[in-house]
Amino acid sequence: MKVLLLLFILTTTFHVWGHGGEDHSKDVKQPKVVKANAEIEEKYIRINQEYLKTVKPIFQKSCFDCHGNTTVYPWYYKIPGVKQLIDSDIKESKKHLDFSKDFPFVSHETPIKDLDAIGKSIKNDSMPPFRYLIMHGDKKLTKDEVKQVDKWIRESKEMLK
């Protein structure tokens, strides 16, 4: 019964909940190459050091299945139709934001806009998407994790001003 419910949800809500309720399909651009001067590079290094220490472990638990290179596929992955939906979700997720290379992330935006997007997703509670949380409730960020990520975002944006 759970599998049938999952299939129904996956097939009827693919574009609505697949990316936190936002349709960016028309906005997707080629990934930007961030060229920075020495001062900005130093800031990126400091931001990344804090990211590695406090935020990456949170993202590894909750985000890397779709936004990284360490996807742990669920038992139902090989069900026809489900596999294609999961693969499509992962492909689209990585087009928008890929955490595989640490900060600054691979994305179609600037590092500041990436931080804004992550902050918005956390504040709106739109990531991980609802349909993912149905089968992976343990991936939802705790209040403490939200505070840690939010603090890192604020401090990082302040440093980049």
Q: Where are the alpha helices (DSSP H) in 20-142?
A: 38-50, 56-62, 64-67, 82-96, 111-123, 130-135
Query: Average pLDDT of 128-156?
Result: 92
Tens of pLDDT, residue by residue over 44-79, are 999 999 999 999 999 999 999 999 999 999 999 999
The pLDDT confidence band at residue 6, using thresholds 50, 70 and 90, is very low
Query: Average pLDDT of 31-37?
Result: 57
Strand 97-98 relative to strand 106-107, pairing: antiparallel
Sorted by where each begins, the domain ranges of the chain are 2-11+38-160
Task: Indicate the pTM of the whole model.
Answer: 0.77
First to last CA, the chain: 51
14's tokens? 């693919």
Q: Which residue has the tokens 């949380």?
A: 133
The fraction of the chain above a pLDDT of 70, given in percent, is 78
Which is more confident, 16 or 85?
85
